[in-house]
Structure 1
Amino acid sequence: MKKIFILLVSAIALITLTACGPKRGSEAWCKKMDEIPKGEWSLNDAGDYTKYCVFKQKPEQE
């Protein structure tokens, strides 16, 4: 029972911490990506940076 409780609390903490970053495509996200070396970006990061930060498209509402 104790292991299940610890696992559940860990999963909730992980989900909460993951959701705390700036929303992809926001101005804060663009500034954060400017600080990360380009070599550490994924292909999705590079594509989204170009789309939202260079071409200034608005992110889709989720």
Structure 2
Amino acid sequence: MKKTIGIILALSLLSGCAPEIGSKEWCASIKEKPKADWTIKEGKEFASNCIF
């Protein structure tokens, strides 16, 4: 029982990880997201890390 709970906890923690801001994966995920849904911070980070 404890092993099962541990596995479920580990999987939930690993599945919740998002790519690091400014990484190629993050830039790709932001490009797919509609611009209307971007936050101000996402817009600034996208401009500084993915465009320039």
Q: Matched residues, percent identical?
A: 31
Map 1:1-62; keep pairs closer than 5 Å.
16=13, 17=16, 20-55=17-52
Length-normalised TM-score, structure 2: 0.70
Q: CA RMSD in A?
A: 1.0
Query: Greater helix percent: which structure?
Result: 2
**2: CA distance between counterparts of 1:22 and 1:43?**
18
- Where does the alignment leave 5 or more consecutive residues of structure 1 unmatched? 1-12, 56-62
**2: CA distance between counterparts of 1:36 and 1:49?**
12
Q: SS of 2:43's equivalent?
A: helix
| TM-superposition CA deviations, 1:22-45 (whole Å, max 9, x none) | 100000000000000000000000
- Where does the alignment leave 5 or more consecutive residues of structure 2 unmatched? 1-11
**1: CA distance between counterparts of 2:42 and 2:18?**
14
